[in-house]
Chain A
Amino acid sequence: MSFSAVARKNTDTLDRRYAILGTVLIAPTVLIFCSVILYPLVSAIYLSMFSIYTPTLEGGWVGLDNYTSLLASGRFWNALGNTLVWTVGTLVLQIVCGVAVALLLNQSIVFRSLARSLILFPYFLSTVVAVLVWRWLFNDLYGILNHMMLWAGIVDMPVNWLGAMPNAMISIIVVGAWKYFPFVVIAVLARLQTIPDPLYEAARIDGAGPIARFFDVTLPQLREVLTVIILLRAIWDFKEFDLIWLMTGGGPINSTQTLPLVVYQEAFGLNQMGMASAYAVTMMIVMLAFMLIYLRQTRQKESI
């Protein structure tokens, strides 16, 4: 055997060993991915083809019946509409408030460090605690909001914040925005601090005022980070459960009943795990469709 053949054989062996080592090293990641993402996903799709009584997990194959009855029911479309109103409403408010506060905290203001820390408070607060506090503020008999409005003569009777429409939807949108806008603040503030000052100086030399500087310098620089923020927050808001469930329970008359609430009620209230899975899978498809459209639009704008 020539020297080159021996060398090639050694290289092949080494390559094989590295390939095996690579497979072994990546295997835990693949296994974890399969067990925490792929298995639940396949399991949910599989369950959605059955009529299953939750406590016993027994039932029979129904094929696509769950999906056809789901799409034929007004409940799904009502919940989808509510979910979209909630998601868009709270997301817009989060972005507007988040960017505004980030711009403020990027200025040289007194107690800036303290303010930056305190602004994160709602995000760190447990949802249950936050909702209890807000429910107390909204309370018709003892809530400070009604007391102040009555005292100021704005209203004659306490306002029914959570038990009437559109108040209930507006209330949860506001509380959702309050709870989650700090995430936008953190991300936007981090990006603001990396925008080069010469860009602003050049804009000033060109005669741009504060508003023009925001739209012509700041906003384009924030585009990438805002794309990611909107994507993440839209996903999280779309599947928000605890805040809405604890605030209104879906009422009044299902006016704030979003898709995650329907999934929960089907699975554990009505004990229909198959139907609940069908709702969950449909939710995922709807979310995926919106996200793909959003990303495509964003990429098209970027390429222009």
Chain B
Amino acid sequence: MTPKGLSMKASRRQVLQGMGAAGLAAAAGTLGSTQRASAQDVTLRWWSPQSSPAQLAAYKTQIAAFEAANPGIKVLFEPTSDEGYAPQLAAAFASGELPQVITHLPSFAVQTYYAQGLVEPFDDVIQAIGTDKYYAGANDVYKAADGKYVGTGIGNTAADMLWLRRDLMEKAGIGDAPRTWDELRSACQKMQGNGVYGAPLPYGLNSMTSLIFIGFIHRAGGSVFSPDLDVAIDSQATYDALEFYKSMQELCPPGATGYSWGESLTAFVSGATATGIYAGRVLANVNAQNPGIADQVTCVTYPTMSSDIPAWTFNDFPSVFIPAGAQHKDEAKKLAAYLFQPPGYIEQLHAAPGHVLPVLKTIAEDPAYQNNEIIQKYPEEIDLMAASAAAGHNLGYETPEHQSNAKAGEIIASNALAEMVQRVVLSGEDAKAVVGDTAKRLEELMNS
């Protein structure tokens, strides 16, 4: 080993030194450029599970207008999904890689996160939007135990309206829309046939089944929790709701045992079922995808067990909120408030007309909002949905007397209620035993 070897070593060392120096220089350069970029530009990430093509186009317009009005701020929209937002957000919170603004999540999810200290108080954004512009009590569902607001509604949704086809009703000799469960079942029986099923109720092991079935418990006069949030599901109302839900299965398509929101909507819009259970998106979808039945479609609040029980509408209260751990909160608040400014907000509402209803009375009264084909074509349906949604509830806010339930999100995610429905309806298990098991499971979840 010779000078040659030594020279090779030296050469290798030199190469390594050179590579190291180059790497350091590159890293320093990258760091420097990142720092320069971050000094100039702020990128805000906006998440939403509502991302139909029309909505995406509306968001794009809003983003462009916001960026133009706020130089140096970039907004990046990232779609999530109704079934997928909880895991995505859990991972985002855990990793600290958080979006700055999140919209269209149910109010109870925001309350759950706020209770864990994961959400920024929203009072100043509501002030910036203008408290006097809201409908009275529109933000009650967002009030936390500490008196602060955890978010605000970006819209209202009457998620479980009963959709009907006038032509099929007429053909079946049904004069009025059903108001009770017996009337609904009878109407579905009469309309079922020739490849058309009665209803697309969800029986799948998913959040839709849980969320929809809560409405049936209330429409039987019961509730899942007492106002003090003690488990109250083991009641006659739940047994009645399960019995009715079971009796409806033969009037639903066979695949309803796996239905979630998409399948249920498509079943009615395509004409495969005579009735539907969904929010206002039905109107836009029917007009776009099955215009032949567009003039025959109407909706009412979902029937109750008996006429003396008041209607109960599921409103998930689509929200806007800002994660506490997000960077650039001031800019995020600016964006959150900007989302409510016309004409962008109106365009966003027009992207899903009748589905996402305005929470600001100033917008609802705005002629620009009224100037929409769907809104003008179905004024009664839109008004009914607006009124029903405004008086609506969900598991986090079962009645005005109920305390806010911060565990609602986890209860829905656990599929405990959907599993109860499946065990009774699909497996034919004894309702008493199943409801007892579910009550225990809910207790566990509330205490976890």
Contact = CB atoms under 8 A, between A and B. Distances in A.
B16 to A, nearest CB: 10
Interface string B430-448: 0000000000000001001
B255 A160 contact: yes
A220 to B, nearest CB: 45
B266 to A, nearest CB: 8
A164 interface: yes
Contact of B257 (A56, A139, A160, A269): A160
Dominant SS among interface residues on chain B? helix
B254 A158 contact: yes
B213 interface: no
A57 to B, nearest CB: 5
Given A55-B116, A163-B204, A252 B422 contact: yes
Given A250-B205, A253-B422, A270-B414, A163 B255 contact: yes
Contacts of A65: none
A140 B419 CA distance: 22
A160 B419 CA distance: 18
A268 to B, nearest CB: 3
Interface string A240-253: 00000000111111
Interface in B389-426: 410, 413-415, 419, 422-423, 426
Dominant SS among interface residues on chain A? loop
A268 B91 contact: yes
Nearest to A14: B1
A164 B205 contact: no
A141 interface: yes
Nearest to A168: B258
A269 B87 contact: yes
Interface string A156-196: 01111111100000000000000000000000000000000
B205 A254 contact: yes
A271 interface: yes
B161 to A, nearest CB: 21
Interface in B243-276: 253-258, 267, 270, 272
A264 interface: yes
Contact of B258 (A162, A254, A265, A270): A162
Chain B, interface size: which category? 35 or more
A272 B448 contact: yes
Contacts of A161: 255
B410 A254 contact: no
A265 B1 CA distance: 63
B164 to A, nearest CB: 19
A269 B413 contact: yes
B47 interface: no
Contacts of B116: 53, 55-56
Interface in B342-377: none
Contacts, number: 106
A14 B270 CA distance: 80
Contact of B205 (A53, A252, A272): A252
Nearest to B209: A251
A98 B205 CA distance: 33
Given A141-B255, A163-B254, A270-B448, A249 B206 contact: yes
A157 B206 contact: no
Interface in B31-90: 86-87, 89-90
Interface string B103-130: 0000000000100111000000000000
Contacts of B267: 141
B93 interface: yes
A54 B422 contact: no
B117 A270 contact: no
A267 interface: yes
Given A163-B204, A252-B257, 10 more contacts: A55-B89, A55-B90, A55-B116, A249-B204, A251-B422, A265-B415, A267-B90, A268-B86, A269-B86, A270-B448
Kindly list the 4 A-B residue pairs having the minimum CB-CB distance in the complex, ordered from nearest: A163-B257, A140-B255, A251-B205, A268-B87
23 contacts: A54-B91, A55-B90, A56-B93, A56-B118, A139-B255, A141-B272, A142-B270, A160-B254, A162-B255, A163-B258, A164-B254, A248-B205, A251-B205, A251-B422, A252-B204, A252-B426, A253-B423, A265-B413, A265-B415, A267-B87, A268-B413, A269-B86, A270-B445
